[in-house]
A and B are shown apart, each in its own frame.
Chain A
């Protein structure tokens, strides 16, 4: 199976509602879990990350939670705005010196 899996592949939310994207990973040694946002025609940009010794991290309207036992981590976006519409990628460290990326989620915020 894939090293990192993301669900759902597409998510539509009404402006102001919350969006949650979940990722699962397979390598129990993974210790770093970033989330990247990619706008159309551009390269991805880091929006938040979490390390394995922490269960939750927040930065204004975004938060990430990590459950190491279940090997999953989630991105939470509250009070969504049209500029949150983008593709979001999760990733996890894989072995040494590598990041494995999920396939991405298209988030659409409906005004």
Chain B
């Protein structure tokens, strides 16, 4: 089945450790996105990529890094510089790089920093 797969679903880490969240899609979409979701805050854009080997910062990129070496993969690293990393992270892809097309979301990764 086509879709977006995020892993792990739940992740616990100690303060000061870097964490990498995986996002894989087999929809053949060029554009991929990472959002952070906090209670009552909606979805805030961390990074996005419109094409392989290219990505741009979103609204809250500080303390995060990404790579886009393959079309189907867009991993997100939450670094120790991110001051408040505990959150629900959502990855999405789209066949429209203009922002004016359907986003297909994964089921999310919940990160808890102890």
**Interface residues of A, Cβ cutoff 8 Å to B:** 9, 31-32, 34, 36, 41-46, 49, 51, 89, 93-94, 96-99, 101-104
Contact = CB atoms under 8 A, between A and B. Distances in A.
B50 to A, nearest CB: 6
Contacts of B41: 103
A17 B111 CA distance: 38
Interface size class of B (residues with CB under 8 A): 20 to 34
Given A34-B102, A42-B107, A43-B106, A101 B42 contact: yes
Contact of A42 (B40, B99, B102, B108): B108
B103 interface: yes
Contacts of A51: 100
B100 A45 contact: no
Interface of B: 4, 31, 35, 40-45, 48, 50, 56, 58, 90, 92, 97-103, 105-108
B105 A101 contact: no
Given A43-B106, A97-B50, A32 B100 contact: yes
A103 B90 CA distance: 15
A43 B107 contact: yes
A93 B100 CA distance: 6
B50 A104 contact: no
B98 A96 contact: yes
B105 to A, nearest CB: 3
A104 B103 contact: no
A99 B107 contact: no
B90 A43 contact: yes
A51 B48 CA distance: 22
A97 B43 contact: no
28 contacts: A9-B40, A31-B100, A36-B103, A41-B107, A41-B108, A43-B90, A43-B92, A43-B106, A43-B107, A43-B108, A44-B90, A44-B105, A46-B102, A46-B103, A49-B102, A89-B42, A89-B43, A93-B98, A93-B99, A93-B100, A94-B99, A97-B50, A97-B97, A97-B98, A98-B48, A98-B99, A101-B42, A101-B43
